[in-house]
A and B are shown apart, each in its own frame.
Chain A
Amino acid sequence: MADENSTPHKRGPLKSSVGSAAVQRRRDHAVTVRKERREALMRTKRLCRVGVSSDDADVPVDADMATDEEQSVLEDQTVKSMEELNLAIAYQGKGAMQKRVNALRELRRLLSKSEYPPVEAALKAGAMPTLVQCLSFGSPDEQLLETAWCLTNIAAGKPEETKALLPALPLLIAHMGEKSSLPVAEQCAWALGNVAGEGEELRDVLLSQGALQPLARMMLPNKGSTVRTAAWALSNLIKGHAKAATELIRIDGVLDAILRHLKRGDEELATEVAWVVVYLTALSNVATSMLAKSDLLQILVDRLASSNSLELLIPVLRSLGNLVAGDSYVTDNVLVAGNEVTVRVIQVMIKCLSSEHRVLKKESAWALSNVAAGSVEHKKLIHSSGAVSILIRLLSTSPFDIRKEVAYVLGNLCVAPSESGRPVLIVDHLVSLVGGGCLSGFADLVRSADIEAARLGLQFLELVLRGMPNGEGPKLVEAEDGIEAMERFQFHENEELRSMANQLVDKYFGEDYGLDA
């Protein structure tokens, strides 16, 4: 029935009492709790399999077998092996050492098995205090190795499992000293790398306990696998930590070791070392400037030119980009026009831009945009290279984030810095890029919701409107629906963009526009 005085839009008042919302919230909470419990139960049931024979315990470890190992059996075995280990530690008689090592080996074997290693079961059974005890100074290498290996596997678990390693950290670091055997030191580095990978909090703990020095020292010799593990652990350790990065590069011999391994190491080793370089150049100005003055750039370019391993190319390319962006020494003194290395940098960029992998495309466009921001000579060099046609194609066909980086490169090619502050137009670059068909790509950017991209697009339209010879600009822009794209900003919240777009429309498409056409 229609009520004569109905007010169909009455909404709840802002000032309301707390009661009803609180009751609802409490009930919703009960439902959430129930869902969590249902899920927890389901997870347990899924992991639980019974009725599988357990007498295959002596079968040699095999990856496929491991996945088939049944979880509950595995957990039972883990608990049992912890009991054995404790018995072995308590045992003082003949062959005590061998008993301990055997028990540790069994535990390590269990913890290496299956996609779901029984870490939780081991920790519940009191693994941590026992393992710390097994790391005591003066323990035989074999025992240390097996213990560190167990800890490595535990550290690879869930975050709270990784944290359980806290009491073991000082001893793991201590066993990386010069007197330790290499296999023990490497295994300790591996465990610590897992711990450092867990997060900032644990990284801080490791740094404060002095993990950096011994790991850095392990980088120095030419022992492939040890260096690789140390490099991997170091890159985890200095992630996000500028001070640690600076400290690392200042350690005697580290810079040389990095360059040496990067130049001569196999691809796997070079990959891990390159990641260290990525963090050094991203985090520390000191490191960047030291590396800039070395022949790192040359080495990176060689790697980029010769390798096809995506794992290696990504960190190498990012290091190169960091280097170019981070230190003007490189652009001013190394990457000068006429130097052979400059030509080669552009060649490897072209290689990466033409790659199938979006990460490579994006990283190389970013690195190239930093080169393109340099002197007029740099711009000429890029402009006359094969990069331009690839960039124009990427501007219209690639995913959004790559398009943005590409737009920076192309935009930078058309303007040069000047003393007046207002950039000077490089007309012949502009004409050839527009001729190459880049305008529609920029007009698309103008339509983007991303402010930065839209600004890039507008700036380029401005160049075209102002700079194309014979006043051709407005017609070209109009042909790409540029007017419509700019009119979208009429009510845009960003004032800068709004006024920029409005001024362009007023100036170039005002009342007189089209009269002479």
Chain B
Amino acid sequence: MAMEVTQILLSAQSVDSTVRKHAEENLKQFQEQNLPVFLLSLSVELANEEKPADSRKLAGLVLKNALDAKEQHRKYELVQRWLSLDVSVKGQIKACLLQTLSSTASDARSTASQVIAKVAGIELPQKQWPELVGSLLSNVHQVPPHVKQATIETLGYLCEEVAPEAIDQDQVNKILTAVVQGMNANEANIEVRLASTRALYNAIGFAQANFSNDMERDYIMRVVCEATLSPEVKIRQAAYECLVSIGSTYYEKLAPYIQDIFNITSKAVRDDEEPVALQAIEFWSSICDEEIDILDDYGGDFTADSDVPCYYFIKQALSALVPLLLETLLKQEEDQDQDEGAWNLAMAGGTCLGLVARTVGDDIVPLVMPFIEENITKGDWRQREAATYAFGSILEGPSPDKLIPIVNVALGFMLTALTKDPSSHVKDTTAWTLGRIFEFLHGSTLATPIITPANCQQIITVLLQSMKDAPNVAEKACGALYFLAQGYEDVGPTSPLTPYFQEIVQSLLNATHREDAGESRLRTAAYETLNEVVRSSTEETARLVVELVQVIMTELHKTLEAQKLSSDEREKQTELQGLLCGCLQVIIQKLGASDPTKYALLQYSDQIINLLLRVFACRNATVHEEAMLSIGALAYATGPNFAKYMPDFYKYLEMGLQNFEEYQVCAVTVGVVGDICRALEDKVLAYCDGIMTQLLKDLSSNQLHRSVKPPIFSCFGDIALAIGENFEKYLMYAMPMLQSAAELSAHTSSADDEMIEYTNSLRNGILEAYSGIFQGFKNSPKTQLLIPYAPHILQFLDSIYIEKDMDDIVTKTAIGVLGDLADTLGSNAASLIQASVSSKDFLNECLSSDDHLIKEAAEWARLAISRAISV
């Protein structure tokens, strides 16, 4: 029953776009009209040795795309469709796929491998296709090497697609054995060895049991280490990738091998080709990651019996590892500072050196200082740059006591280098290093300041001068100024930057106006630095910040003048508007924070809103996130007066809420709804029908990104707080949504940290909604409308308490809800409250909490409960 599809598939790759589009259309129709025949036809095409290579390959790819998609809900749909296909059709397709693994056409084999893995990803967790692994393993012993290669490749993809739990340990053992055998030096065929090494990379996560067994682990490690010495560069690279993955997956098993690994990696870093050397460095970077994590866990609690002990591999290897990494710093590429995606030995080595510094702290300093001293004054720019980079890399980790004396000596030298060094590479790295100095060694928490009245002026003069240098250097100088300003954020009423404020602002604005400000992200850096300077400024310069409002408005106005833009120009316009709106947002927050400056700001509020509305109008399908954030800031500053802007602004608010495809836009807008509710209070009522409709629609969409759900629930609470008992008409829609979300979030089914974190944020959103609704209804005659929901809410509190995996934020919100319920419902809920676990054990636990926010909420809840039950 398969149909002939060769011609359509070939047409779909035609150079003639009309022919191509027509063919694509046909394929789509075919798929929609008769999925089983469509899929079967594709698999038959893929398996047929007589067909052209191009049509076979595309058949495989289309088949693969019919089984999987990036988007979660689409993926789910495709999986369900496959599962509901007729068993015999699926059987035929699978037979074709397996048969293709023996094809002489390598593209066809490789495509079939991937499709098999996708099918396995769907079926194995359902306990279907149980014979797959067995039949693949029997293939491994086939004589033709290409069959063996394709089979092992398939096993590798399979491990990538399927979770370890879906495969029996017995089969895992067999897969690993086959893969490791294939990597062995006895295997004559290079393609088989390469496929095996890559397959092992995917299978590392399956080898838990094997890595706990000394003999098996030794064997795997030996084979991997041997493969790093293969004559084939691709095999060496793949073998190091395995080693990196082993290093982070089985850190605690590495001790017996670490010396050998150090030997082979250092040889690779020094002598091997770049892709291999980069992986060898990556091994040590990932060991640093592990040890930093473990030591972090140690740090919190001195009795911590951490699951994984720290073996201090980095510390032990330090005296050999550091010189190795320092050597790599001298292998810079000429144009790496201009190329944003650059990644080479020097960059990887410096990055690793930075991680090593964070792992071992002070011990690294004496090992790096001689290198710096020897190279910093050399004639070759590579040596000066490497020395500077080494210094910049180790500024995070060692103690300020150790670093500050060195920095005090180096600072003058660096400022001279930034002005006078002939090499732009050296200047770039010097400015970056200054930024790191200010980031880690400057600020109110440090006892000895490195910036003093004696050197402050010189530092600022040099940085401002460097903003006229090449774009990459200027960008780094902005970065340095950014951290310099940040260090003064809690400086008190007088800031050392005050005398330079005007000059700094002017230099930053000049930098944004440079013709070449688009290069090296200079414009972004200059605007963000301006924001930081404003944010950490003091009362002394408030007048200048007010003046800045007009400057930024003029800039924003200019972006609106341009007519008939190309799509490229439009993108640039949007980006620039984003930066300017970001700037407005910070200025509004700053000036809005105290009364006198707030009034100075508010004289511009009409103009600001008009500009922001015009920025929104530049686009038709979506809204500008940054403009939206500025609106939120302005709403706080204007308070209830924001009402006069609502008629014009509302449509953009709605547009943002509708845009759940771009979920960040949607999330930002949801947040702004909350800002507006707090600003307008009951004056927001007129817009609530529209807003609630949109929020409920978002929640019901299965396309909504899950991260937007918690803020939407919190937003229910914001609305209810603002409009009080008028929330009545939304109860019948909002409450069931909250209830079903609560049921889902009561139990975290997985031990996955990310999932637990999400579940907690969801709980928090739900609880904030409940709190807002209760407090909104308090003291109104309509509180009895909430009584029917109380049992479920108390049950929710009880069940998350019993689950014991709440974080502190949820705990605080949850105990608050208990109080809100008692506060609003009073004696009506007394018996329900008394019957709940939350009102006893949970409340008591919170009352004796160390977290004062939890304690405060709990004390309030106790008071509310005692009132409710005493009446």
A147 smallest CB distance to B (angstroms): 29
Q: Contact between B779 and A491 (Cβ–Cβ < 8 Å)? A: no
Q: Contact between B525 and A42 (Cβ–Cβ < 8 Å)? A: no
A510 at the interface (CB under 8 A from B): no
Q: Contact between B525 and A17 (Cβ–Cβ < 8 Å)? A: yes
B23 smallest CB distance to A (angstroms): 21
B823 at the interface (CB under 8 A from A): yes
Q: Contact between B718 and A38 (Cβ–Cβ < 8 Å)? A: yes
Q: Contact between B819 and A15 (Cβ–Cβ < 8 Å)? A: no
Q: Contact between B823 and A46 (Cβ–Cβ < 8 Å)? A: yes
Which residues of A (387-443) have their CB < 8 Å from a CB of B? Answer: 400
Q: Contact between B343 and A13 (Cβ–Cβ < 8 Å)? A: yes
Q: Pick the contact of A34: B303, B304, B675 (CB < 8 A).
A: B675
Chain B residues, Cβ within 8 Å of A7 = 275, 278-279, 343
Chain B residues, Cβ within 8 Å of A20 = 524
Q: Contact between A493 and B350 (Cβ–Cβ < 8 Å)? A: no
Given the known inter-chain contacts A41-B678, A491-B255, A491-B311, please indicate yes or no for A9 contacting B582, CB distance below 8 A.
no
A293 at the interface (CB under 8 A from B): no
Cα–Cα distance between A50 and B157 once the two chains are bound (Å): 66
Which residues of B (578-618) have their CB < 8 Å from a CB of A? Answer: 582, 585-586, 589
A93 at the interface (CB under 8 A from B): no
B162 at the interface (CB under 8 A from A): no
B177 smallest CB distance to A (angstroms): 23
Cα–Cα distance between A46 and B772 once the two chains are bound (Å): 10
Q: Contact between A38 and B678 (Cβ–Cβ < 8 Å)? A: yes
Q: Contact between B721 and A9 (Cβ–Cβ < 8 Å)? A: no
Chain B residues, Cβ within 8 Å of A26 = 528, 531, 582, 585-586
Given the known inter-chain contacts A9-B244, A13-B351, A46-B823, please indicate yes or no for A449 contacting B429, CB distance below 8 A.
no
B427-461: CB near A (< 8 Å → 1, else 0) gives: 00100100100000000000000000000000000
Q: Contact between A11 and B768 (Cβ–Cβ < 8 Å)? A: no
Q: Contact between B582 and A23 (Cβ–Cβ < 8 Å)? A: yes
B693-721: CB near A (< 8 Å → 1, else 0) gives: 00000000000000000000010011001
Given the known inter-chain contacts A41-B678, A46-B823, A491-B255, please indicate yes or no for A68 contacting B310, CB distance below 8 A.
no
Identify the closest chain A residue to B285 (Cβ).
Answer: A11
Chain B residues, Cβ within 8 Å of A491 = 255, 311-312, 316
A28-49: CB near B (< 8 Å → 1, else 0) gives: 0011011001100110011001
A1-15: CB near B (< 8 Å → 1, else 0) gives: 110010111111111
A450 at the interface (CB under 8 A from B): yes
B828-871: CB near A (< 8 Å → 1, else 0) gives: 00000000000000000000000000000001100100110000
Q: Contact between B524 and A34 (Cβ–Cβ < 8 Å)? A: no
Chain A residues, Cβ within 8 Å of B479 = 17-18
Given the known inter-chain contacts A18-B482, A42-B721, please indicate yes or no for A488 contacting B303, CB distance below 8 A.
no
Tell me the count of chain B residues lying within 8 A, CB to CB, of chain A.
83
Q: Pick the contact of A488: B114, B306, B309 (CB < 8 A).
A: B309
Q: Contact between A14 and B350 (Cβ–Cβ < 8 Å)? A: yes
A495 smallest CB distance to B (angstroms): 11
Identify the closest chain B residue to A6 (Cβ).
Answer: B241
B286 smallest CB distance to A (angstroms): 7
B475 at the interface (CB under 8 A from A): yes
Q: Contact between B298 and A33 (Cβ–Cβ < 8 Å)? A: no
Which residues of B (764-786) have their CB < 8 Å from a CB of A? Answer: 768, 771-772, 775, 778-779
B271 at the interface (CB under 8 A from A): no
Q: Contact between B306 and A449 (Cβ–Cβ < 8 Å)? A: yes
Identify the closest chain B residue to A21 (Cβ).
Answer: B528
B816 at the interface (CB under 8 A from A): yes
A142 smallest CB distance to B (angstroms): 33
Chain B residues, Cβ within 8 Å of A50 = 779
Given the known inter-chain contacts A34-B675, A42-B771, please indicate yes or no for A18 contacting B304, CB distance below 8 A.
no
A115 at the interface (CB under 8 A from B): yes
A121 smallest CB distance to B (angstroms): 18
Q: Which bucket holds chain A's interface residue count?
A: 35 or more
Cα–Cα distance between A9 and B240 once the two chains are bound (Å): 11
A51 at the interface (CB under 8 A from B): yes
A345 smallest CB distance to B (angstroms): 30
Q: Contact between A46 and B528 (Cβ–Cβ < 8 Å)? A: no
Cα–Cα distance between A30 and B631 once the two chains are bound (Å): 11
Given the known inter-chain contacts A26-B586, A68-B867, please indicate yes or no for A14 contacting B351, CB distance below 8 A.
yes
B329 smallest CB distance to A (angstroms): 11
A19 at the interface (CB under 8 A from B): yes
Chain B residues, Cβ within 8 Å of A42 = 721, 771-772, 775, 816
A59 at the interface (CB under 8 A from B): no
B845 smallest CB distance to A (angstroms): 19
B350 smallest CB distance to A (angstroms): 6
B16 at the interface (CB under 8 A from A): no
Chain B residues, Cβ within 8 Å of A45 = 721, 775, 778
Cα–Cα distance between A448 and B302 once the two chains are bound (Å): 9
Q: Pick the contact of B303: A9, A10, A30, A450 (CB < 8 A).
A: A450
A27 at the interface (CB under 8 A from B): yes
Q: Pick the contact of A9: B282, B302, B524, B819 (CB < 8 A).
A: B282
Q: Pick the contact of B529: A18, A68, A115, A493 (CB < 8 A).
A: A18
Q: Contact between B478 and A115 (Cβ–Cβ < 8 Å)? A: no
B289 smallest CB distance to A (angstroms): 9
B389 at the interface (CB under 8 A from A): yes
Q: Contact between A9 and B521 (Cβ–Cβ < 8 Å)? A: no
Cα–Cα distance between A7 and B278 once the two chains are bound (Å): 9
Q: Contact between A15 and B863 (Cβ–Cβ < 8 Å)? A: no
Chain A residues, Cβ within 8 Å of B157 = 2
Cα–Cα distance between A493 and B411 once the two chains are bound (Å): 33
A67 at the interface (CB under 8 A from B): yes
A488-506: CB near B (< 8 Å → 1, else 0) gives: 1001110000000000000
Chain A residues, Cβ within 8 Å of B823 = 46
A456-500: CB near B (< 8 Å → 1, else 0) gives: 000000000000000000000000000000001001110000000
Q: Contact between A30 and B528 (Cβ–Cβ < 8 Å)? A: no
Cα–Cα distance between A11 and B286 once the two chains are bound (Å): 10
Chain A residues, Cβ within 8 Å of B632 = 30, 34
Chain A residues, Cβ within 8 Å of B819 = 46
A515 at the interface (CB under 8 A from B): no
Chain B residues, Cβ within 8 Å of A493 = 310, 312, 315
A90 at the interface (CB under 8 A from B): no
Q: Contact between B482 and A11 (Cβ–Cβ < 8 Å)? A: no
B393 at the interface (CB under 8 A from A): yes
Cα–Cα distance between A491 and B312 once the two chains are bound (Å): 7
Q: Contact between A17 and B521 (Cβ–Cβ < 8 Å)? A: yes
Which residues of B (754-810) have their CB < 8 Å from a CB of A? Answer: 768, 771-772, 775, 778-779
B840 smallest CB distance to A (angstroms): 20
B684 at the interface (CB under 8 A from A): no
Chain A residues, Cβ within 8 Å of B343 = 7, 10, 13
B520 at the interface (CB under 8 A from A): yes
Cα–Cα distance between A159 and B187 once the two chains are bound (Å): 75
Q: Contact between A22 and B241 (Cβ–Cβ < 8 Å)? A: no
Q: Contact between B779 and A51 (Cβ–Cβ < 8 Å)? A: yes
Closest 4 CB pairs of A and B: A18-B479, A22-B528, A19-B524, A14-B351
Interface pairs (25), CB distance under 8 Å: A2-B157, A7-B275, A9-B241, A10-B343, A11-B351, A13-B350, A14-B347, A14-B350, A14-B393, A15-B389, A15-B432, A17-B476, A18-B482, A18-B528, A22-B528, A26-B531, A30-B633, A37-B636, A38-B718, A41-B721, A42-B816, A46-B860, A49-B778, A49-B779, A488-B309
Q: Could you list 12 further interchain pairs (A-B, Cβ under 8 angstroms) beyond the known A14-B350, A17-B520, A30-B585?
A: A5-B275, A7-B275, A8-B241, A14-B353, A14-B354, A18-B435, A18-B479, A18-B528, A30-B671, A41-B721, A42-B721, A115-B863
Interface residues of B (CB under 8 A from A): 114, 157, 198, 201, 241, 244, 255, 275, 278-279, 282, 285-286, 298, 302-306, 309-312, 315-316, 342-343, 347, 350-351, 353-354, 389, 392-393, 429, 432, 435, 475-476, 478-479, 482-483, 520-521, 524-525, 528-529, 531-532, 582, 585-586, 589, 629, 632-633, 636, 671, 674-675, 678, 714, 717-718, 721, 768, 771-772, 775, 778-779, 816, 819-820, 823, 859-860, 863, 866-867
